[in-house]
Amino acid sequence: MFKKILIANRGEIAIRIIRSAQELGIKTVAVYEETDKTAMHIIKSDEAVCIGAGPRKDYLNIDRIVQAAKKSGAEAVHPGYGFLAENPLFPKKCSEAGLVFIGPPMSVIDDMGSKVIARRIMEQAGIPVIPGHPPLPPGAEGEQQARAFAEQHGFPIMVKAVAGGGGRGIRMADSLGNLMKCLNMARSEARTAFGDDAIYLEKALQRPRHVEVQIVADGYGNVIHLGTRNCSIQRRHQKMIEIAPANLAPDLIERLCRDAVAAARAARYVNLGTVEFLLDETDRYYFLEVNTRIQVEHTVTEMITGLDLVREQIRIAAGDPLSVGQDQVQLRGVAIELRINAEDPKNGFAGSPGLVQIYQSPGGHGIRLDGAVYQGYEIPQFYDSMVVKLTVYGFNWNEAVDRLRRALDGFNIIGIKTTIPYYKEIVSDPDFIEQRFDTSYVDSHQHLLNYREEAPELERIARLLAEINARGRNPYAEPFAAG
């Protein structure tokens, strides 16, 4: 087992990795940019290395991170999610420097990172894929091929970046004129986000459900699945709510999980990964992509299996076999995760950076919080807007929803706008309660944005407390006027 690992990430996922490393007796090294020097992951780690002024660019600097790992004496590097997690050059550079990359091999990240290559591998393995078109050449020739595809398959059509991920570089066209615009926009987004403007086409499914299967594979040929997750509630192709297991017929779940394991074997997968599918209204499913990293929503799988997925990642990277076999995996209950972000849903989910004046969180049975925010923390504008991940567990769906409602009421976050008021509307919505949702849910439930703003008296109390604290007086040591 490793003695020390470097975590090439920030925020809640860095803290999450630190916790598993601590349980394994492994020392951790954090990296940070100057613009992120008040982040909690720096405090939680055993060591911290500043890798540059930032913002964001140094978290993407492979050479600096590898240098920090070597200088600190780390033996392995965990990428978390986002940033460099799915950049195949990162494991290559780690290997060249004598470091172990805690994730899949470079070849797997490379193949699965190309949506076109991934589709071809799955087709050869007999896994159903959505009808699509290979990468389009730029200019007039590409436009001509796109028109021909539209004539053959009809609208709507998805325009996707070959190197895409995280909902970026994706556009849906519902007409020929719109298709031409989407080609240009998707190319531009892909070039900015991934440094690669290659795009391809897929026939769009109408109101699909987004279901994924967690898989784990070791270096000895063992591959297992850890059940399903429903990630259909999304905005702009980015997930907001994740549920495990997906509410599907047992035989359908069995087929999805079987094909996910087959997909992992076809890709020669090692370590943790997620095979994602889209389901149409007839329950016919199609391969979407493979995410070659730990995902934000891994917490719901951990809640219903009792397994520590980060611990499993580290053990596999260290050369250990899987700690459990498929027959030992037991799924119990229901877990739901919400991504609580510093955003203003009423303003198109615009970011809401600023000072967290008051931060109080819920607790109790079946509630898990994964976050990196504290009272007095200044949420910077440069990074991901996530404040905390709330995951609840219940014996069944109804119990989980009731617990989720209680947990949301238990938050008191003042100083920034968050998505909590919006989530409170969702968890009371009849369609959500009856599990009638697909990827169109957010757009088709615009009325849920008509929530009441947080009580103004809370803001007034927050300002008063800030003034008292600024004068160096303890508000609990003496009474103070609220008026």
DSSP letter for each residue of 264-285: HHHTT--EEEEEEEEE-TTS-E
Whether the ω angle into residue 79 lies within 30 degrees of 0, i.e. cis, is no
CA atoms within 13 A on the CB side of 314: 29
Strands (E), 357-459: 358-360, 367-371, 378-379, 386-394, 412-414
Reduce the DSSP state of residue 331 to 3 states and report it: coil
The answer to whether residues 47 and 29 touch, using CB atoms and an 8 Å cutoff, is yes
The single residue of 293, 315, 339, 403 carrying the catalytic annotation is 293
Q: Rounded distance, CA 388 to CA 339, Å?
A: 7
Question: How far, in Å, CA of 85 to CA of 65, rounded?
Answer: 13
**What's the distance, Cα to Cα, between the start and end of the chain in Å?**
59
- Let me know: does 213 contact 256? Beta carbons within 8 Å: yes
Of the candidates 381, 369, 463, 350, the residue with the CA atom closest to the CA atom of residue 414: 463
Residue with tokens 């429903």: 230
Token pair, residue 414, equals 């003042």
Burial 329-346 (b: 16+ CB within 10 A, else e): bebebbbbbbbbbbbbbe
Cβ atoms within 10 Å, residue 150? 19
Going by the DSSP 8-state scheme, the letter that residue 288 receives in this structure is E
Report residue 320 as tokens. Answer: 């250990």
| C-alpha span between 445 and 442 (Å, rounded) | 5
**Cα–Cα dist 159/201, whole Å:** 5
Q: Is 293 a catalytic residue?
A: yes
Instruction: Give the orientation angle of helix 176-194 with respect to helix 140-153, to 10 degrees.
Output: 120
The residues carrying an active-site annotation are 293
